Amino acid sequence: MLFHVEMTVDLPPEMDEQRANLLKADGRWMSQQLQRDGVWWHLWRIAERHANVSMFDVDNPAHRTKC
Protein backbone atom coordinates (compact mmCIF):
# COMPACT_ATOMS: atom_id res chain seq x y z
CA MET A 1 0.00 0.00 0.00
CA LEU A 2 1.36 3.43 -0.89
CA PHE A 3 1.47 6.23 1.67
CA HIS A 4 2.14 9.93 1.12
CA VAL A 5 4.23 11.32 3.98
CA GLU A 6 5.27 14.91 4.70
CA MET A 7 8.32 15.43 6.94
CA THR A 8 9.89 18.52 8.43
CA VAL A 9 13.12 18.45 10.44
CA ASP A 10 13.21 21.09 13.14
CA LEU A 11 16.18 20.57 15.44
CA PRO A 12 16.34 22.79 18.53
CA PRO A 13 18.72 25.72 18.00
CA GLU A 14 20.47 24.93 21.28
CA MET A 15 21.25 21.34 20.21
CA ASP A 16 24.93 20.48 20.24
CA GLU A 17 26.32 20.65 16.70
CA GLN A 18 28.00 17.24 16.98
CA ARG A 19 24.71 15.62 18.10
CA ALA A 20 22.81 17.35 15.27
CA ASN A 21 25.34 16.12 12.69
CA LEU A 22 25.08 12.56 14.05
CA LEU A 23 21.26 12.64 13.82
CA LYS A 24 21.45 13.96 10.24
CA ALA A 25 23.97 11.27 9.23
CA ASP A 26 21.79 8.53 10.79
CA GLY A 27 18.75 9.89 8.96
CA ARG A 28 20.62 9.95 5.65
CA TRP A 29 21.78 6.36 6.12
CA MET A 30 18.29 5.16 7.05
CA SER A 31 16.61 6.93 4.12
CA GLN A 32 19.13 5.47 1.67
CA GLN A 33 18.65 1.97 3.13
CA LEU A 34 14.87 2.24 2.88
CA GLN A 35 15.24 3.35 -0.75
CA ARG A 36 17.52 0.38 -1.50
CA ASP A 37 14.98 -1.94 0.17
CA GLY A 38 12.19 -0.59 -2.06
CA VAL A 39 10.21 0.85 0.86
CA TRP A 40 10.89 4.55 0.24
CA TRP A 41 9.75 4.99 -3.37
CA HIS A 42 10.04 8.72 -3.95
CA LEU A 43 11.55 11.69 -2.16
CA TRP A 44 10.84 15.30 -3.12
CA ARG A 45 12.70 18.06 -1.31
CA ILE A 46 10.88 21.26 -0.41
CA ALA A 47 12.82 24.33 -1.50
CA GLU A 48 14.45 26.46 1.19
CA ARG A 49 13.30 24.13 4.01
CA HIS A 50 14.70 21.06 5.71
CA ALA A 51 11.58 19.15 4.67
CA ASN A 52 10.34 16.66 2.12
CA VAL A 53 7.32 14.90 0.69
CA SER A 54 7.79 11.17 0.28
CA MET A 55 6.01 8.06 -0.97
CA PHE A 56 6.37 4.82 1.00
CA ASP A 57 5.25 1.31 0.01
CA VAL A 58 4.38 -0.52 3.25
CA ASP A 59 1.68 -2.89 4.50
CA ASN A 60 0.10 -0.39 6.90
CA PRO A 61 0.73 2.98 8.59
CA ALA A 62 2.26 1.23 11.64
CA HIS A 63 4.95 -0.48 9.53
CA ARG A 64 8.26 -0.87 11.36
CA THR A 65 11.54 -1.11 9.51
CA LYS A 66 14.65 -3.13 10.33
CA CYS A 67 16.87 -0.04 10.04
Distance CA 46, CA 50 (A): 7
Q: If pLDDT is split at 50, 70 and 90, which confidence band does 64 have?
A: confident
> Across the strands, what pairs with 52?
7, 45
Maximal C-alpha separation, the chain: 39
pLDDT tens-digit readout, 7-59: 999 999 999 999 999 999 999 999 999 999 999 999 999 999 989 999 999 98
What pLDDT is recorded for position 66?
65
What is the enclosing helix (H) or strand (E) of 2? Answer: strand 2-8
pTM summary value: 0.77
Q: Domains of the chain (ranges plus CATH)?
A: 2-57 (3.30.70.1060)
